[in-house]
Every structure is written in C-alpha cells, then in structure tokens.
A = this chain, B = another copy of it.
C-alpha cells in the first residue's frame, strides 16, 4: 500500500485503511492500551494499539525505531489532524537497540549543545532543530529566486586559492598536490570577475574562516550568500537590489518580520551621532549598532537600517571611496534588530585604482595577478554584498548560537561528526 504523510491524514475518511511510515517519536505503554506517535517529514500520526500481539511487538520497538504502520482511520479531535489510527499492523524497518543519549519526544530538546552536536544526526531530527534548518533552506531559496528575477546568474567558484590575500592570517592552509594552497574566505574576487561575464552574478556556497574565536557567532565554515552586479551608479543601486532580495527571503521564509520597500539609510558620521559615539570612532561597536536598531524602529518603524559611508581605512582595499570625500567609502552594512547581517558596497573597477589602492596599503601586486587581470581588460562600475546564512537565520529566529542553525557545525574545537 502506498504510504501517505501524516499531513495527508487530514480529511481522510474514517474506516479507510492507510499506511504511514516514520520514526517512533513517542511510545506510551499503558495498562490496557498503548499509544504510538509516529514522526515523519510532515508531522505526527497517533496510533492506538489494543491488540495483544501488536502490543508485544511494540514492547521491543523503542523510540526512534523506524516503522511502517498500516491501520484504520478513526476520527479523534484530540489527535493530530483530527485522526487517529487504530487496529494497526506494524512493520519494523529499523530497530533501535540502545538507549537514546537524550529524550526526543519532549517539546524542547533537553540536552546541552555539546551533546546535541556530538549526536547531531539524532538531535537534528527534533522538530525544534529541524525548523531552524528549514528556515535556512527557505532563506536560500528566497535569495536565489529574488536574484534570478533581477537577472542574476548563478556561479560556482573555487574554494581552493593560491594566496591568502583577502584577510591575512585566518585562512586554512592545504596541501595542494605538494604545494601550498588555502581555503577561500569568500568568493569576493571571483564574483567580481564574473561581473565581466554576466553583469550580475550570485553564489551560494561554503566559505572558510580559521578564526580562533570560540563564540556563539563564529563558525569555521559557513554558507555565504553572495551577489555582485555591474553598471551601477553607486552603492545605492546595490542597496536597492539587496532590499528586494531581503524581502524575497523573508517572504519565502514566511516570517512575520517585514522589511520596508525602502530601508532607512544613515551615513556613518550620522550613525555615530545617533549612537552617541565620539565622532572620531572608526567603526561601530555592538552597543552602537543596537542604538541604531532602536533608532530605526522608533523613527522609521523599520527593523532594518542601512549604515553607509564607513571610513575607507576600515574597509577592504577593493572598496570604492565616496567620490565627494575619499575619507568615506561607498561601503555599507545592513543592520537587522541592531546587528550587522549584510556587508556590501561599491568596489573599485579601474585597474589603475587597484594598483594604487594596493600600493598605498604596502601590498605587493603579484599575489593578486589573476584578480587584477580581469580589471586590466575593462570592468564596469560594480558592487555587491555577502550575507552569512547562519547568522541571518539565528538573528531572525532568535536562536542564540549559530551552531544551532547549521547541521554539522565546524569550529575551533569541532571537526566531527
């Protein structure tokens, strides 16, 4: 008999025989009756067992065993989807013979994060953990669809690079056929070069940071949602495309959070004033970001706020300066509820500007040869952004630790499972 999902139990006619399959989420062996809650990809089915033989079988099948249950539909308003399943015959697909390291059937997962991560394959089955991963999947889908509607083309770029150029020390070194290589910290250089091919490109892929920081915000591998677009006037065109994209992501997630059609934007110098920071501060501290988040909500009714014009000295070498005053950049951050979730900006696009920018920072040109080559042969004004998927999901869902928003996190101390 063709299996149905628990969600398809809704509206099934009483008396009909159906087959469901899934994990034994909860088994309750009472004196005269046993209840079985079967968990599948849709939700839960409730099975009532009164037959002695089935009861006996059930006594051997502990929680998380996988079963296929063929039974009769009976109306029960208390049960999920108003249906419970009676007179079941249970076919065992996979039996659990050891005690679970933690209980899976309670509404919350009562296990510390280390235990959950040690047994990730089990912990992630808990609906509370699976929900976070579903939000990540929806965010990614919304990201792609919003960008494709704006004619961005998907690209796949190398994760192994020749030089540790982008931010110095925090890179993983690999043995690449006997010579040194490094794991890419971002697709930044490649996505810029691909603007020369498709004008607008995006990539969803892993990036690697060997940051020795063991905090709730750091992962050694995370998923970066990158986009880059050419033929812009300046960073404001990038911010407009990003706003559409963020709205697409929120829509796909189906959250109550909303972004306005035009997200309020404040210049860095104004942001310092709003946050009550000294005017010579080179960057925004977490407290400043929080103050800006409160300001945007109060003044503009927006949980999102752009900060533009960050000082050039705090932005990477490829950042385009503000043509009106090169102390400031055409770089921006997008804050959500007072926390930075996106960094972006306009980039340099002329070869000679790159040579000048690198030379001014005392950097040799040679490690950048493959990157600079693209600019030597003509590139339009362009810009883009990167969203860290895990931090975005954590902030949106209120999950405190980014390790809970990804299936098998990698950090300073963890490389398995």
Interface residues of A (CB under 8 A from B): 3, 21, 23-24, 40-41, 64-66, 68, 93-98, 100, 119-122, 124-125, 129-130, 133-134, 136-137, 140-141, 144, 148, 151, 153-162, 172-177, 179, 181, 183, 190, 193-194, 196-200, 204-206, 208, 210, 212, 220-221, 223, 231, 349-351, 369-371, 373-381, 389, 406-408, 410, 412-413, 415-417
Contacts and interface: CB of A to CB of B under 8 A. Distances in A.
A381 to B, nearest CB: 6
A375 B97 CA distance: 11
Contacts of A197: 124-125, 129-130, 133, 407
A198 B407 CA distance: 12
B200 A122 contact: no
Contacts of A136: 156
Contacts of A40: 199
Contact of A377 (B100, B154, B370): B100
Contacts of A183: 160, 174
A156 B406 contact: yes
Given A100-B377, A197-B124, A408-B190, A415 B208 contact: no
Given A133-B197, A196-B124, A231-B21, A373 B417 contact: yes
Contacts of A417: 193, 369-371, 373
- Closest 5 A-B residue pairs measured CB to CB? A370-B417, A121-B374, A41-B199, A121-B193, A64-B378
Tell me the number of copies of this protein: 2
B41 A151 contact: yes
B350 A94 contact: yes
Nearest to A136: B156
Contacts of A66: 378-380
A370 B158 contact: no
Contacts of A65: 378
Contacts of A413: 177
A94 B378 CA distance: 5
Contact of A160 (B154, B161, B172, B193): B172
Given A141-B154, A160-B410, 18 more contacts: A21-B231, A41-B151, A66-B380, A94-B349, A94-B375, A97-B351, A120-B193, A120-B370, A130-B198, A137-B153, A140-B154, A159-B206, A161-B415, A161-B416, A174-B174, A174-B175, A204-B204, A370-B416
A137 to B, nearest CB: 4
A84 B318 CA distance: 37
Contacts of A194: 124, 407
